[in-house]
A and B are shown apart, each in its own frame.
Chain A
Amino acid sequence: MLYKSVNESFNEFIVERKDTTCIRCKVCVRQCAYDVHRYIESEDCLTEDHTLCIGCRRCSALCPTGAISIHLNQEAFKKNESWSTAHIRNVYAQADSGGILLAAMGNPAKYPIYWDHLLLDASQVTNPSIDPLREPMELRTYLGKKPDNIEVVYDKTTGKPSLKTKLTPQLKLEYPFIFSAMSYGALNLNCHRAMAAAAEELGTIYNTGEGGLHKDLYRYGKNVIVQVASGRFGVSEQYLNAGVGIEIKIGQGAKPGIGGHLPGEKVDDQISETRMIPFGSDAISPAPHHDIYSIEDLRQLIYALKEATNYTKPVSVKIAAVHHIAAIASGVARAGADIITIDGFRGGTGAAPQVIRDNVGIPMELALAAVDSRLRDEGIRNQVSIVVGGGVRSSGDAIKAIALGADAINMGTSTLLAMGCTLCQRCYTGKCPWGITTNNPYLAKRVNPELAAEKLVNLVHAWGHEMKEILGGMGLNALESLRGNRYKLRAVGLSEKDMYLLGVMPAGE
């Protein structure tokens, strides 16, 4: 195309507009954040630049007459089993730019998804199933260190029992779901308002991510877990005490071993105040915590945070699922963490080198099974709760994760989807057409916090209902009875070794 490089001309999407139904209202022109659509006044018609389209589908969703549809460009390179279109396109892009390719969201590549090879059990004849609409069903979850044993004493006069053992602080969740750590800066304030309000209504938790907690959101403290990452953005005594828990972020599933970089252009006055950094300056999170080079160092930070909050808040340590995850998790547990958060390679990010996102880390399903088994073998499973994230797409996946040993689920991508995301994976451009991963005030308005909070509440309610139905079908009346109960899972189409690692039997056995 004229004035376009050859590479740009191999566009990924085609914008198709039906001229007979286009009413020239120009909604597409106003809504496209990438300037794909253009109105030509002299001809009274609209035209489009396919090379700029990112396939977010904002225009087709808002077109009042359904005149627009977005298609994958079917124009193809010669078929090649080795060199896929994506490989070819990436080489062209790098030959043009000489730089690292950026990407966003979780690993989209064709690796096995273990959820799709696991099946759940149900009651038949020999044990009764339970109807969750007629009988109580418990999803309430407590996260934190559980004692090795408990001592109960009875009141001599009334005979009533009471707990003598002093429990360490716990996070109480009415649903086993947490809105996972997505920082203020990566997401805008409207999204954070929505997540905080939804968490409050649901009686669950929203994780601030590494960008601090905006002053308007301190009032949601009972439903907030504050994160401390390698950049230490927005960390103060007040911040640490603002929520009900603290999370130390070591790694992220989408980019294990890699730090973060919020470009200065995205640091507006509110973000600068919340992160406690100068206006317009780049917010760089180093790859490692420079005060943590060992488990002993991690222990120091865990206890420094516990001291700072007077031992009133459980401390979580978030690690990416990598090769020696079980040994690392054991070390984290012994370092004094109350919760271990495992982020699998399908976990999302606002920006990561594509080569890292697509090639580093391991599936959360295997990591979870390995960690749960290891901690049990070492007799320290009760010392930590396990929260997992990265690739939970439905209540079915979530309940399989619980059966594999998870205590709660981090909802990241699903949270974004509920708020309007269409997974176009261009978060790193700061031009999110759905108003989520952008701080441009014109675009950020597209997330109405009230509407987004309602959708999040609806989603968690829906998943909660489904989980209750599944539990009832298995004859269980509490999620606690399923936790780590891998006997309720069976595998189809997995190798012996996979099944051994997951600790599940094949279907039919």
Chain B
Amino acid sequence: MKRIYSIEDACIGCHLCEIGCITEHSLSKDPVKAFMHEKERPISRCTVEELNGGITSLSTTCRHCDEPDCLQACISGAIQKDSEGVVRLDREQCVGCWSCVMACPYGAIQRNLASKKANKCDLCPDRETPACVDACPNRALVYREGSQK
């Protein structure tokens, strides 16, 4: 399956991947409306980690593991792997216990404290290429076939 890979050497720490992610998961899919006018602003599913004042940075996001620890840990069956291998979270079923958050070895699941639901990458089902990849100005995120590592 296609996965998102983060190229550390090319990440410039601009955080545009996060902005793309938030916009894509908003109601309007428009950045101005998503950030300034919509009631509930989504939480970005990718997070830019920075070290040494930004000299080292990379965008972390769900690896869509072959054997996901989050899926094992989920107490409500909200996390499932679909037929293509994408690890999906059903918000209706999520009870906000944060077991997945603790289980993920990549720190790729976020807590949405407002809605008390876990928050994770869904590889943007409405797009050909995930929003974060398209938003990156320096090709530090690539979407291609490969293993989880």
Question: CB within 8 Å of B: which residues of A?
Answer: 20-21, 23-27, 30-31, 62, 64-65, 435, 441-442, 445-446, 448, 450-451
Contact, CB under 8 Å: B53 / A64: no
What's the A-B contact tally at a CB cutoff of 8 Å? Answer: 58
- Encoded as 1 (CB less than 8 Å from any A CB) or 0, chain B from 110 to 139 comes to 000000000000000000000000010111
Given contacts A23-B36, A442-B55, A445-B9, contact A62 B138 (CB under 8 A): no
16 A-B pairs besides A21-B32, A25-B15 with CB distance below 8 A are: A23-B19, A24-B35, A27-B15, A30-B13, A30-B54, A62-B137, A64-B20, A64-B23, A64-B135, A435-B12, A441-B55, A442-B13, A442-B54, A445-B11, A446-B12, A448-B7
Asked if B68 is at the interface of the complex by the 8 Å CB criterion, the answer is no
Least CB distance, B131 to chain A, in whole angstroms: 11
Measured CA separation A309–B7 after assembly (Å): 40
Contact, CB under 8 Å: B9 / A62: no
Measured CA separation A21–B31 after assembly (Å): 9
Contact, CB under 8 Å: B10 / A445: yes
- Tell me which of B11, B12, B32, B53 contacts A23 (CB under 8 A): B32
Q: For residue A446, which residues in chain B have a CB less than 8 angstroms away from its CB?
A: 12, 138
The B contact surface, by secondary structure, is: helix
Residue of A nearest to B33 (CB): A23
Question: CB within 8 Å of A: which residues of B?
Answer: 7, 9-16, 19-20, 23, 31-32, 34-36, 53-55, 135, 137-140
Q: For residue A445, which residues in chain B have a CB less than 8 angstroms away from its CB?
A: 9-12, 138
Q: For residue A24, which residues in chain B have a CB less than 8 angstroms away from its CB?
A: 35
Contact, CB under 8 Å: B54 / A64: no
Measured CA separation A445–B7 after assembly (Å): 11
Contact, CB under 8 Å: A23 / B140: no
Measured CA separation A441–B15 after assembly (Å): 17
Q: For residue B19, which residues in chain A have a CB less than 8 angstroms away from its CB?
A: 23, 25, 27, 64
Contact, CB under 8 Å: A23 / B14: no
- Residue among A21, A62, A64, A446 with the most chain B CB within 10 A? A64
Least CB distance, B58 to chain A, in whole angstroms: 11
Could you list 18 A-B pairs, sorted by A, with CB under 8 Å?
Answer: A23-B19, A23-B32, A23-B36, A25-B35, A27-B15, A30-B14, A30-B54, A31-B14, A62-B14, A62-B16, A64-B16, A64-B19, A442-B13, A442-B53, A445-B138, A446-B12, A448-B7, A448-B138
Measured CA separation A65–B35 after assembly (Å): 11
Given contacts A64-B31, A442-B53, A442-B54, contact A27 B16 (CB under 8 A): yes
Least CB distance, B11 to chain A, in whole angstroms: 7
Q: For residue B55, which residues in chain A have a CB less than 8 angstroms away from its CB?
A: 441-442
Q: For residue B9, which residues in chain A have a CB less than 8 angstroms away from its CB?
A: 445, 448
Measured CA separation A435–B55 after assembly (Å): 13
Measured CA separation A23–B28 after assembly (Å): 14
Contact, CB under 8 Å: A23 / B16: no
- Residue among B7, B12, B55, B135 with the most chain A CB within 10 A? B12
Measured CA separation A25–B31 after assembly (Å): 10
Given contacts A62-B14, A62-B16, contact A450 B35 (CB under 8 A): no
- Tell me which of A20, A23, A65, A451 contacts B138 (CB under 8 A): A451
Residue of B nearest to A450 (CB): B139
Contact, CB under 8 Å: A448 / B14: no
Measured CA separation A224–B102 after assembly (Å): 52
Measured CA separation A65–B19 after assembly (Å): 10
Measured CA separation A451–B142 after assembly (Å): 12
Least CB distance, B101 to chain A, in whole angstroms: 25
- Tell me which of B13, B53, B139 contacts A448 (CB under 8 A): B139
- Residue among A23, A446, A450 with the most chain B CB within 10 A? A23
Measured CA separation A333–B83 after assembly (Å): 71
Residue of B nearest to A448 (CB): B10
Q: For residue A442, which residues in chain B have a CB less than 8 angstroms away from its CB?
A: 13, 53-55
Least CB distance, A433 to chain B, in whole angstroms: 11
Measured CA separation A62–B14 after assembly (Å): 9
